Structure 1
Amino acid sequence: MNRRTLLSFLGIPALLGTSGAAWAAISRSNNPYYQGPVTENFNGVVFTDGRPVTKGLADVLKWQTSKRDREAFPEHFPTPPQDTPPARVDGVRIVHLGHASFLYQIAGLNLLIDPVYSLRASPLSFIGPRRVNQPGVAFDDLPRIDAVLITHNHYDHLDIETLARLHERDAPRMIMPLGNDTIVRARIPTAKAEAHDWSARLTLSDAVTVTLTPSYHWSARGAFDRRMALWCSFVVEAAGTKIFHIGDTGYHDGSLYRRLGAEYGPFRLAVLPIGAYEPRWFMKDNHMDPAEAVKVMLALKAEEALGHHWGTFQLTDEGIERPPSALAAALDEAGLPQDRFRAMRPGLSWQA
């Protein structure tokens, strides 16, 4: 991967892909996305999850220039056949679309979480992390989408071109944490984009609610906007079924997930990231590894878990099959059955 593109993807050295409107906004304000009162998680310019920022440009350069044990992804990684979902589901059906993207069909609603249908998770269409398999559901086979949930603004989670396609086709409600709506409207002015703080509980239908909760992560679309939009996880509730969905997070000391498990749990299902974690000295603050994901599942009091954020885009140093093998070892170490926490591949589904 081109080093400059990767560093830009990580939101550090070069403001590639930033529009003229965004540049103008930066010149007018210290925060181009959000202006609001100082709160526990917003200091007036940037957002925080309560942890000190421990990594910066020097650490990124150290990672990129040091001798590395990097296992390259194959050009193509075969997956199960693409799924063809029904138009609506009365219960709960979840399909993995690849990386961190999911289709939730729940109590008659169709929800997408962090949908990425672009070839690359990058600000540029011709360079950057390239997908090695097709989405688990073809775009044209998606049922009508009622709402889209976005966890944060990194390019492997907020794919503006996919959102534009969805808006043109279905005009869904788009729900995201504070500041991200500005990014969406800059490209899609008429989008039904709405932004909320942690703890906001939103009604999607008579049967379905969603709550934004914290995670240990960060945000950036370019060089000068680190932590200027909020990030989140989601609690999705319907018909007595509770699901905890994390797009990206570090583990830290685990206290956040013990608290969320006590406040919102127990959960029927946790959907957790298990990839993009090497090298640990650099990634551990913001990306948990499979052993930590098992701890989060237990802290959340989840009956089962699905693992994502692996096997589609290479963002870090571990090989493409390392996350599922590490997850299997972590479950053995914890004395848990393998079917309690499955590493999901694109096209696979879960039902309740």
Structure 2
Amino acid sequence: MSYFAAQRDTSTNGSCVRSTRRKVLLAGAGAVLAGAFGWGAARPNPYYDGPQSDHFDGERFFNPGSPMRTNLIDFIQMRLTNESAEWPQSFPSGEKDRPPPRVGGRDLRVSFVGHATFLIQLAGLNILTDPVLSERASPISYTGPKRVNDPGIAFDDLPKIDVVLLSHNHYDHMDETTIKRLVARDRPRFIVPLGNDTILRAFATDIDVSAFDWGDETDVSPDVAIRLHQAHHWSARGVRDRRMALWAAFSLRTPAGNIYFAGDTGYADGSHFRAARDGAGPFRLALLPIGAYDPRWFMSYSHQDPEEAVAAFGDLEAENAIAYHWGTFKLTGEPIDEPPALLAEALQARDIDPKRFVAPRPGETWKAS
């Protein structure tokens, strides 16, 4: 989707008009995108006040050894010059899941709700990841990326949610409306990276939320523990809060096996995946993003492509994987159905059984065999 376009006119007057429009366009784009993507003047961190570390400088979080070099001008250039494939207005999956109230013992049931939202059922717990069930992934209700398919589980069909894993604060992963509904109905425990607890308490003052750093671990039941891991990403929710809340991946240590949820991440050198494998593996199942990667010169820092997702699958040494972050919200330039096609090619190139790394549509489920 291209938000910006210049008028074509070969006349002198047309060139002047085009130039004026372009100046107005760039000025307006700067204001809008600064708000949407957090490029703006610095201010004291409103979310987190803690000691410096190898990924926090006292004001902002960062990926160690991997500074983010793209800026607002790069973003505008990308939007103006990148050829973006058209998406259909509707891309229904045809599937709807009505999950059971609970799954016990060593059974494992994972339902794909859409984008980065999964319902993970195991050991008597219902765990939801990055819950976004609203129509748009946007700070504005009437504009911004709009769903092209319904959630694979309707909100009213969700079982009682015990735990929510929230990877970071971008609007396609942290949805105020969905969070408020979950708090009002179920009062689940939210597990979030540092600083995101402050944001959530602004949504719901009585929310049960615990914030952790990379490497921290917490028990959510006598049988299940959650650990936070480095992801290669960034954060912003407003005009001046870029990288002021942390981002993370998660691992789950459970009787049904260890599970990895990547949140939102670029591949970088893959070291964060290998560190998770060493610290929390082996993994029975890995949930890995495969979409929102085009163009690579701009998006590679934040989002891995399907080939990199297969590399991450190898780094994690996971038995199985489920792909997500494609086919629901149009965020970047690739065609809607390209990510699973490229995933299939990457698996074939590495001689990996495609049944081990699947790309479901919303409403489809994965059960441990």
Q: TM-score, normalised on structure 2?
A: 0.89
Matches within 5 A, 1:74-93: 74-90=88-104, 91-93=107-109
- In structure 1, how many angstroms separate the alpha carbons of the residues matched to 2:335 and 2:140? 24
Identify the residue that residue 18 of structure 1 maps to in structure 2. Answer: none
Matches within 5 A, 1:99-114: 99-114=115-130
SS in 1 for 2:297: helix
> How many pairs are equivalent?
339
Does the 8 A contact of 2:130 with 2:167 survive in 1? Answer: yes
**Structure 1 ranges of 4+ moved more than 3 A:** 1-6, 12-15
- The alignment status of 1:307 with 2:323, answered yes or no, reads yes
Matches within 5 A, 1:239-318: 239-318=255-334
- In structure 2, how many angstroms separate the alpha carbons of the residues matched to 1:225 and 1:80? 39
Give the residue type in structure 2 aligned to 1:78.
Answer: P
Assess, with a 3 A threshold, how the Cα gap between structure 1 residues 344 and 325 changes in structure 2: closer, same or farther.
same
- Residue deviations 1:235-265 (CA, integer Å, cap 9, x gap): 0111050011111111111122122222222
- In structure 2, how many angstroms separate the alpha carbons of the residues matched to 1:46 and 1:215? 15
Q: C-alpha root-mean-square deviation of aligned residues, in Å? A: 1.7
Give the residue type in structure 1 aligned to 2:146.
Answer: R
Identify the residue that residue 19 of structure 2 maps to in structure 1. Answer: none
Identify the residue that residue 21 of structure 1 maps to in structure 2. Answer: none
Larger radius of gyration, structure 1 or 2? Answer: 2
Assess, with a 3 A threshold, how the Cα gap between structure 1 residues 14 and 77 changes in structure 2: closer, same or farther.
farther
- In structure 1, how many angstroms separate the alpha carbons of the residues matched to 2:58 and 2:318? 35
Give the residue type in structure 1 aligned to 2:323.
Answer: G
Q: How far 1:223 moved relative to its partner?
A: 2.2
SS in 1 for 2:101: coil
Q: How far 1:80 moved relative to its partner?
A: 3.3
- In structure 2, how many angstroms separate the alpha carbons of the residues matched to 1:262 and 1:63? 37
Does the 8 A contact of 1:72 with 1:319 survive in 2? Answer: yes
Assess, with a 3 A threshold, how the Cα gap between structure 1 residues 42 and 297 changes in structure 2: closer, same or farther.
same
SS in 2 for 1:194: strand
Identify the residue that residue 30 of structure 1 maps to in structure 2. Answer: 44
Q: 2:354 aligns with which of 313, 338, 343?
A: 338
Identify the residue that residue 37 of structure 2 maps to in structure 1. Answer: 11
- In structure 1, how many angstroms separate the alpha carbons of the residues matched to 2:316 and 2:35? 31
**Structure 2 alignment gaps of length 5 or more:** 5-28
Does the 8 A contact of 1:9 with 1:154 survive in 2? Answer: no
Assess, with a 3 A threshold, how the Cα gap between structure 1 residues 324 and 10 changes in structure 2: closer, same or farther.
farther
Q: TM-score, normalised on structure 1?
A: 0.93
240-249 vs 321-330, which deviates more?
A: 240-249
**Structure 1 alignment gaps of length 5 or more:** 16-25
Q: 1:65 aligns with which of 69, 76, 80?
A: 80
Does the 8 A contact of 1:274 with 1:310 survive in 2? Answer: yes
Q: How far 1:158 moved relative to its partner?
A: 0.5
- In structure 2, how many angstroms separate the alpha carbons of the residues matched to 1:58 and 1:52? 17
Does the 8 A contact of 2:35 with 2:239 survive in 1? Answer: no
